[in-house]
Amino acid sequence: MSAVPVNEAGETISPNSEKTFTAIIPFSDDVGRFKANVNLLYGENQTANLYDTTSFFMLPLHYLLLLIGFFTLLIIVLLILMRSKRNQYVATEDGDDVSMYVRDGHAANPQDHDIDLSK
């Protein structure tokens, strides 16, 4: 638990108006979900406590980089494994050679074995 002053300058907020304050969250190596609670001082020494004002997740940068590196390495390893599995199933034929006739265009009476390269 930690406390962070938000309105150090002591700015006043008029009734029926809104004001946004920002504060730097004290960084630590904690990972997880955190909640923010607001303690207000207003009017003539009146106080209010607003519990569960907001919640946020914190993950230190070095953990995030390790997580990204791990998933990148995992994807690379899976791609290498998939590629090597695919290359194992290359079909080879040990049969006789088949003759093919290739010509540019075709004659008036094309044969079944002719390949048309004009298109």
The mean pLDDT values, 10 residues at a time, for the chain of 119 residues are 76 82 74 80 80 78 92 95 75 70 63 64
Task: Provide the 10 A C-beta neighbour count for residue 7.
Answer: 13
pLDDT at 116: 66
Tokens of 64: 């995030």
For a pLDDT cut of 70, what percent of the chain falls above it?
72
Tokens of 78: 């899976």
Containing 49, the helix (H) or strand (E) segment is strand 46-58
pLDDT at 85: 75
Tell me if 11 sits within 8 A of 19, measured CB to CB: yes
Report how far residue 36's alpha carbon sits from residue 21's, in angstroms, rounded to the nearest whole number. 13
For the chain, where are the alpha helices, taking DSSP H only?
61-88
pLDDT at 105: 62
Q: Model pTM?
A: 0.43
pLDDT at 89: 63
Containing 101, the helix (H) or strand (E) segment is strand 101-103
pLDDT at 79: 92
